[in-house]
Amino acid sequence: MPTATPLLHLDFDSEIIHWRGPAPYLFAPVPAALAEEVRRAARLASYGWGCVPVAATIAGTDFTTSLFPKDGTYLLPIKVAVQRAAGLGLGDRVRIEMRIDAR
């Protein structure tokens, strides 16, 4: 991940879930205990509708995406390329490094 100073930098573990639509719509929920920190950073980073652009790393694969709010926390979409590169699937526990930068 780049070395710019982020609004928020988080490292957390999450279990990959499926939400809406057929596979490969897989997501990693941000732990509820971290949701308020994300909400605060989102005030300076969100581009609307509660979506928050992030840079993330899972199993050595860097990618960008946007968190979106769900049930009081946020879901991190796991791109198909990341799923394949890391051999990830539904129910797997992953370590996530995530960064939110100001717009």
Residue 85 lies in a domain: yes
H or E element: which one contains 84? helix 80-86
Residue 73 lies in a domain: yes
Residue 93 lies in a domain: yes
Residue 3 lies in a domain: no
Range of the domain at 76: 8-100
Tell me which DSSP letter residue 86 carries. H
Residue 1 lies in a domain: no
pLDDT computed for residue 5 by the predictor: 67
What averages of pLDDT result for each successive group of 10 residues across the chain (103 residues)? 74 93 81 95 83 94 93 94 94 97 82
Domain CATH code at residue 23? 2.40.30.100
Residue 12 lies in a domain: yes
Residue 29 lies in a domain: yes
pLDDT computed for residue 8 by the predictor: 95
Q: For the chain, how many structural domains are there in total?
A: 1
pLDDT computed for residue 39 by the predictor: 92
pLDDT computed for residue 22 by the predictor: 59
List C-alpha distances in Å: 27 to 6, 31, 85, 100, 103.
Answer: 22, 12, 16, 17, 23
Q: What are phi and psi of 71, to 5 degrees?
A: 55, 45
Reported pTM: 0.88
